[in-house]
């Protein structure tokens, strides 16, 4: 199965990308990364996001001539003035201060835009493609809004994001219901949801049950070796000492693992979900921009009209609603098994192990 990975390249994205790169390298694997679409709307800025994706895959041992297409995302959301705190973004731009090679030759060769790459891959594909969404839906929305027929080329989307029956994680704001990936660009999320593409979300309801624990980290450092494992462990150690905003959970890695191995899911339901994407023209841009500055955004929104603030209280909320779209919501996953997968897959000898289907307990053709 061909996959497109859409990512904002924060810490949890990078761990997820390492995990997927390791699986794609395994000689028995049918998991193929067709393209990586980086974003400029999330935890990293546009150019560092693209360059860091290239660096990470090269560091994981994928030769320059075997890299998937890697695109650079735009910096503007479709609507509103939502962004991550600047301190977080610059920290992630710089890989939390940890040095890996720059691989400038490989980075220079990857000079396409994420929107163009997504459109081209979907147009040219002879079979349906799956998408792993690890950030905002901005790129998908831009392409599919202009060419809605391309939605038929998408088999399904697995998204880390949303909060259904639990509180959100936009702390120090009036919004108690949203999760960051949906809050940053709720108009984009709603646009994609409304197209009726099969979507599975791995929301905070599930990821809240997968925190980074001392026991897991100790076991990982004992049993996973090599530079990929060491890099992951170094970042995990750092985030326990220097958290950005909240306790660290395995947000994107859990979604990535579920995309590859759906039988990790222990409790899911089909739920009608509506994404709150309401604008508020009765408030100022400053009131609608709890982090950063409204001047960081273009004056016009995606429809060429003046950009408007979003609802400060509920924008991005993935609410149960009888008028919403049918979405598969993951409420629980086998966290212990997921942690064992992380440990096995990030080890340097993973691609030399036999029986990939045995490890994952499902046919190789599905991995």
**Domain residue ranges of the chain, discontinuous segments joined by +:** 2-366
- Residue 13, token pair as written in the block: 């994205």
- Residue 5, token pair as written in the block: 């990975």
The architecture (CATH level 2) of 2-366 comes to: Alpha-Beta Complex (3.90)
pLDDT for position 362: 57
317-364 pLDDT, tens digit per residue, is 999 999 999 999 999 999 999 999 999 999 999 988 776 766 665 544
Cβ–Cβ contacts within 10 Å for residue 321, how many?
A: 14
pLDDT for position 262: 96
DSSP H or E run through 70: strand 69-72
What distance in Å separates the CA atoms of residue 213 and residue 8, rounded to the nearest whole number? 24
pLDDT for position 243: 72
Residues with Cβ within 8 Å of 102's Cβ and at least 6 positions away in sequence, in order, are 51, 55
130-167 pLDDT, tens digit per residue, is 999 999 999 999 999 999 999 999 999 999 999 999 99
Q: Looking at the DSSP assignment, which residues form a beta bridge with residue 36?
A: 5, 70
Asked if residues 160 and 134 have their Cβ atoms less than 8 Å apart, the reply is yes
What's the pTM value of the predicted model, to 2 decimals? 0.96
Among 274, 256, 258, 277, smallest CA distance to 266 is for: 258
What distance in Å separates the CA atoms of residue 182 and residue 243, rounded to the nearest whole number? 21
Among 92, 51, 38, smallest CA distance to 243 is for: 92
Among 16, 37, 38, 20, smallest CA distance to 29 is for: 20
Residue segments in the chain with a per-residue pLDDT below the cut of 70: 244-245, 355, 357-367
């Amino acid at each position: 199965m061909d996959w497109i990975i859409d990512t904002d390249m924060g810490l949890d994205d990078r761990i997820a990308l390492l995990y997927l790169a390791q699986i794609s390298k395994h000689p028995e694997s049918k998991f193929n990364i067709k393209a990586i679409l980086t974003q400029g709307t999330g935890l990293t800025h546009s150019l560092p996001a693209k360059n860091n994706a290239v660096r990470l895959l090269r560091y994981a041992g994928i030769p320059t001539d075997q890299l998937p297409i890697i695109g650079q995302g735009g910096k503007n959301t479709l609507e509103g003035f939502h962004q991550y705190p600047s301190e977080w973004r610059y920290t992630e731009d710089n890989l939390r201060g940890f040095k890996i090679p720059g691989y400038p030759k490989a980075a220079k060769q990857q000079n396409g835009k994420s929107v163009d790459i997504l459109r081209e891959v979907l147009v040219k594909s002879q079979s349906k493609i799956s998408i792993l969404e690890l950030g905002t839906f901005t790129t998908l929305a831009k392409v599919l809004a202009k060419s809605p027929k391309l939605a038929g080329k998408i088999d399904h989307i697995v998204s880390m994001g949303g909060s259904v029956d639990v509180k959100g994680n936009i702390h120090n704001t009036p919004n108690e219901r949203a999760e960051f990936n949906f809050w940053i660009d709720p108009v984009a999320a709603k646009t994609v949801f409304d197209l009726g593409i099969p979507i599975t979300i791995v929301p905070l309801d599930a990821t809240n049950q997968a925190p980074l624990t001392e026991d897991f980290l100790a076991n990982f450092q004992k049993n996973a070796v090599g530079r990929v494992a060491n890099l992951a462990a170094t970042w995990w150690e750092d985030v326990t000492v220097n958290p950005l905003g909240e306790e660290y959970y395995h947000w994107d890695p859990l979604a990535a693992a579920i995309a590859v191995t759906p039988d990790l899911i222990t409790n899911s339901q089909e739920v009608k979900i509506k994404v709150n994407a309401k604008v508020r023209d009765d408030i100022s841009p400053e009131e609608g921009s709890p982090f950063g500055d409204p001047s960081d955004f273009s004056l016009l929104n995606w429809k060429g009209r003046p950009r408007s603030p979003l609802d400060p209280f509920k924008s991005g909320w993935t609410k149960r609603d009888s008028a919403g779209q049918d979405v598969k919501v993951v409420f629980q996953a086998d966290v212990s098994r997921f942690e064992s997968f992380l440990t096995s897959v990030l080890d340097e000898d993973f691609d030399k192990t036999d029986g990939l289907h045995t490890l994952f307990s499902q046919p190789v053709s599905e991995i």
